[in-house]
Amino acid sequence: MAAPGWTAPGLWIRGSSQRRGSLFTLVSKPFCSTATASRPLDAQRLAERLRAQKQEQKAKERVPASPVQRRVRELVRFTQQLQRVHPNVLAKALSRGIVHQDKDLVVINKPYGLPVHGGPGVQLCISDVLPILAKILRGHKAEPLHLCHRLDKETTGVMVLAWEKEVAHQVQELFRTRQVTKKYWAITVRVPVPAAGVVDIPIIEKEVQGQQQHHKMTLSPSYRMDNGKMVRVRPSRNAHLAVTQYRVLSSTLSSALLELQPITGIKHQLRVHLAFGLDCPVLGDHKYSDWNRLAPQKLPVGILKKLGLPQSKARHVPLHLHARQLTLPALQSGKEELSLVCKPPLYFVRSLRHLGLGIPSQDQNGDEDAAHPGGR
């Protein structure tokens, strides 16, 4: 697997022992030498020196002979790189991946591993680069863009930004009142039965007792079995109504591609309903594949073989959950509703190919790699 298609090679990376954070660090050692102190470097010689350093770095990073080692290295690099790029580089990458732009909204295809808001351990997030992105799109005097909703750090896909705070509040109200139609794609471990249906089970957050105490969202069903009979139980006042519609787009014996439509918007709703409601966790969901512990997802032998990974390296598999489509009602009278579609990232498409999953022709919408898993 590899990083999403927009990631450009040769980005300045910070926070790594091999690639330090800025142009200054890369060239500070040559500048400190006595030769360069007496004779300044011109632009051409500086470029040649930097090019030589890059070639030396590439020589050190030789491609492993083992296919498994190559796959693991790709996954490790992919899951770590976005927290180490410069904010300007990230903003430019987001601008190249814009799905829609008008006088009110900017819609981006959110990359994997990038949190929307800051927090403990977060070096870079989308809210940090909104002022830079606005200046790229409208010039240096542009006001920062505003977030209209949020996606989990590991989730990719459609994300709506607004130029004005009032428009952002309007879109947020549409989300709150469930007027926005959302559709996700997910690759799951195992295949749900039946192939289409609705999961209508409340969700509650609980503390998990174990080697590491932590909190998870989990199911809080309104019924239980008592001597073979289904008995209604009193719902918890802390439980949230959660409804998810799903259908299988493609499947094999051990995995499936699902289209998910959350009717409600509870934290981690799709992941919880799939893992605990349908017993089909999202591929790469290392939090909700097991209730009692925090550990890498245990994958079936068939999936590991198709992905070219041993179980010991399954922790590097990213979450395969993609916000593919949003349909927004008209923001102003006389306007039409806005349907926004984002292609899945490259690692998602490659997993489809490796697992032998395809997409029905009516759902392709321009992504030929996803529709033809045997290609490329």
- Enzyme catalytic residues: 152
Contact 180, 148 (CB under 8 A): no
Q: Is 44 exposed, middle or buried (0-12, 13-18, 19+ CB in 10 A)?
A: exposed
Whole-angstrom Cα distance, residue 153 to residue 319?
Answer: 10
| CA 180/CA 198 separation, integer angstroms | 18
Put residue 111 in one of left, alpha, beta given phi > 0 → left and psi -120 to 50 → alpha: beta
User: What torsion, rounded to 10 degrees, do the Cα atoms 191, 194, 198, 203 define?
Assistant: -50
Tokens 């690639």 found at: 19
Enumerate the H helices of the chain as residue ranges. 23-31, 34-38, 43-60, 67-81, 87-96, 126-138, 165-176, 269-272, 301-307, 346-355, 368-371
DSSP-based three-state secondary structure for 45: helix
